[in-house]
Amino acid sequence: MTYLALMQTRAPHGAMDMILSGGLSTKIILAVLAVFSVTGWVIIFWKFGQFRRVRRQGAHFLQSIERAQRLEEAYKSVVRLPESPYTRVFRQGINFFSELRPGALKENAPPTPGLSEAQLHALRLVLEKEQAQERDELAAGLNWLAIIGTVSPLLGLLGTVIGVMDAFLGISASGSANISSVAPGVAEALITTVAGLTVAIPAAMAYNYFVGRLGSFSGELEGFASEFIGTLAREGRL
């Protein structure tokens, strides 16, 4: 059977036909893209729930802080809240301040000398370290979205190039170059490009969205750390 007759008998009539009739390399690339797609959507739903939970925790934290008049009252309010990045940063700052000035946050505590410049610098470093840890924890998984969004179109293009090469080699062997012999092979080759873009587009959109949310989260933590130090200054603890 000539190549032309073979292509006419196995001419695909839909995307599934093109996948089933594709070569081994096409099927391997499509399988890898399928794994990337499942992984990407799992990460997207995971991070969406995580960012939504952090936003809700931040709202509860800010409500508790705004009701407090002094640092001691804020500490009592935050202790009753569930664990969150905001409470961990606050507790880290409070614990470090308490180590520097033991008993300063107790009720009816006598006035204590303010922090020295070196101690204030150390407090800032402690807060920045905790902020970086919380930011890195929330950013977990985003690098995989970036990888999927970048590599998937390239894998699709690779499958297309291999498929087009196979199609033209078959045409050369059969000696026929009419549209009926060229179109099925090219169509099969292009299915990997479509699959690659289908996987990459949601991953790239989600990555950029979550990066923006991560930047807002980092800004909130930095603003809170500055507000914490400002509260110490306002209450004469610096």
CB 148 within 8 A of CB 39: yes
**What angle is formed at CA 24 by the lines to CA 23 and CA 26, rounded to 5 degrees?**
65
Whole-number pLDDT of residue 66: 80
Would you say residue 7 has pLDDT above 50? Answer: no
Whole-number pLDDT of residue 159: 86
CB 92 within 8 A of CB 130: yes
d(CA 183, CA 180): 6
Q: Quick one: average pLDDT of 217-224?
A: 91
pLDDT tens by residue, 47-106? 999 999 999 998 888 888 887 778 777 888 888 888 899 999 988 888 888 888 776 666
Q: Which residue, among 116, 115, 136, 123, has the nearest Cα to 225 in the 3D structure? A: 123
Would you say residue 9 has pLDDT above 60? Answer: no
Whole-number pLDDT of residue 233: 80
pLDDT tens by residue, 117-163? 888 888 899 999 999 999 999 999 999 999 999 999 999 999 888 87
Percent of the chain with pLDDT over 70: 78
d(CA 171, CA 184): 11
Higher pLDDT, 172 or 202: 202
